[in-house]
């Protein structure tokens, strides 16, 4: 093999001619709100777009926020991803505190379906989104799109990867997988339902009966080993279900000491953060970036390099494992991270 496969095929042809020197991050711009017409939704869909100020052939991440949040959240991830060459699109869902949907609003009964429909609307409206962002025209690579989400947003993104939501009696399970989504990142995402739910969760959240056996799209699952959710009787291991119960290729990052906010990913000063750790947030940002680069550009060495760095760390903040590598030159099966 010549010179590390010609520096891994010249880093997969400079990330398909985005021309890739992104290790230190680029300046970014953010535009909000971009309003997408949404007949039948009750109100139009508002999104935020973050992107590097330069570069071409930029891959896309559609990001689903957790219950109650909005397009304003998750700056520690969205800013990092944009600075490292991604276009990040963040909608505000109807469950957001900024929308103020009344508990007796008829739309509350189908919040999870509407969330998925909102992501699909974004994919359908990329022309309008691109036109609304200064300097973005012609710079997005629509063949390389990932879906990511935190908490309830992890389930939302997971639907586009093949996760199915069952009825409480175990029937149903609509297939909402979208072939435009090539990879995913599921952060602190709920596990399977049924007997694993607490009585409170089973009564109040009928959409929490997730089924993972059809979730075949490659994904990185991130879980905290102290994410002891009141919605399950199982404890922190519950949030590893999207990894353990789905077909490969999948990877799992377990963060030591992390609770549901994974160190503070919901925002720079988010009130819901109970386990503030800038180092943990930085690790999540770095590893998700590396994962998506290799998942969206098969053969790209970013994930292999990140895995090797994790394996060499003597004081880990987490543990990495995989059912199958992102591609045949990607991650080693197990590693640890500072």
Tens of pLDDT, residue by residue over 53-67, are 999 999 999 999 999
Please give the pLDDT value at position 20: 54
On the question of pLDDT at 19 being above 80, the answer is no
Spatial separation of the C-alpha atoms in residues 161 and 150, rounded to whole Å: 14
Please report the beta strands in the chain, taking only residues with DSSP state E, as ranges in sequence order. 28-36, 45-52, 58-64, 87-91, 140-150, 164-165, 181-187, 210-211, 219-224, 250-255, 318-322, 334-337
Whether the CB-CB separation of 141 and 116 falls below 8 Å is answered with no
Give me the pLDDT at residue 315, please: 93
Half-sphere exposure of 71 (CA within 13 A, CB side): 23
User: With pLDDT > 70 as the criterion, what percentage of the chain qualifies?
Assistant: 88
Is 60 exceeded by the pLDDT of residue 29?
yes
Query: Does the structure show a pLDDT above 50 at 330?
Result: no
How far is it, in rounded angstroms, from Cα 227 to Cα 238?
9
Tell me what the mean pLDDT of segment 262-288 comes to. Answer: 92
- Please report which residue ranges of 73-161 form alpha helices under DSSP H: 75-83, 111-124, 126-132, 152-161
pLDDT of 336: 42
- Rounded distance, CA 155 to CA 145, Å? 17
pLDDT given for residue 168 in this prediction? 86
Q: Which of 255, 259, 288, 257 is nearest to 273 (CA)?
A: 259
Q: Which domains does the chain have, with CATH numbers?
A: 27-337 (3.40.50.1820)
- The whole-number pLDDT of residue 169 equals 85
| 205-255 confidence digits (pLDDT tens) | 989 999 999 999 999 999 999 999 999 999 999 999 999 999 979 999 999
The string of pLDDT tens digits covering residues 76-97 is 999 999 999 999 999 999 999 9
Is residue 69's pLDDT more than 70? yes
Q: Residue 133: phi, psi to the nearest 5?
A: -110, 115
Tell me the pLDDT tens digit for each residue of 136-175: 999 999 999 999 999 999 999 999 999 999 988 888 899 9
Cβ contact 112:207 at 8 Å = yes
Q: What pLDDT shows up at residue 109?
A: 86
Confidence of residue 289 (pLDDT cuts 50, 70, 90): very high
């Amino acid at each position: 093999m010549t010179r590390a496969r010609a520096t891994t095929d010249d880093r997969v042809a400079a990330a398909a001619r985005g021309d890739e020197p992104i290790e230190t991050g680029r300046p970014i711009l953010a535009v909000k709100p971009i309003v997408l017409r949404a007949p039948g939704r009750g109100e139009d869909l508002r999104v935020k777009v973050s992107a590097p100020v330069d570069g071409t052939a930029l891959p896309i991440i559609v990001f689903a926020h957790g219950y109650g949040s909005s397009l304003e959240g998750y700056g520690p991830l969205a800013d990092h991803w944009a600075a490292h060459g991604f276009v990040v699109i963040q909608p505000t869902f109807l469950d957001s505190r900024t929308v103020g949907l009344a508990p007796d609003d008829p739309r509350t009964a189908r919040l999870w379906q509407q969330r998925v429909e909102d992501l699909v609307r974004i994919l359908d409206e990329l022309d309008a989104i691109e036109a609304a962002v200064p300097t973005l025209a012609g710079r997005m690579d629509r063949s390389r799109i990932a879906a990511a989400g935190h908490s309830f947003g992890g389930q939302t993104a997971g639907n586009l990867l093949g996760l199915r939501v069952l009825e409480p009696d175990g029937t149903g399970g609509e297939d909402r997988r979208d072939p435009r989504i090539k990879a995913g990142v599921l952060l602190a995402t709920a596990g399977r339902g049924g007997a694993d739910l607490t009585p409170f969760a089973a009564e109040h959240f009928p959409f929490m009966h997730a089924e993972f056996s059809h979730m075949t799209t490659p994904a990185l699952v991130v879980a905290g080993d102290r994410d002891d959710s009141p919605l399950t009787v199982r404890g922190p291991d519950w949030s590893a279900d999207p990894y353990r119960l789905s077909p490969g290729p999948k990877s799992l990052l377990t963060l030591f000491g992390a609770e549901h906010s994974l160190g503070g990913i919901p925002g720079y000063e988010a009130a819901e953060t109970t386990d503030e750790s800038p180092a943990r947030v930085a690790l999540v940002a770095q590893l998700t970036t590396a994962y998506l680069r290799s998942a969206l550009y098969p053969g790209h060495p970013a994930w292999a390099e990140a895995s090797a760095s994790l394996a060499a760390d003597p004081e880990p903040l987490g543990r990495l494992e995989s059912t199958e590598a992102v591609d045949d030159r990607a991650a080693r099966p197990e590693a640890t991270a500072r």
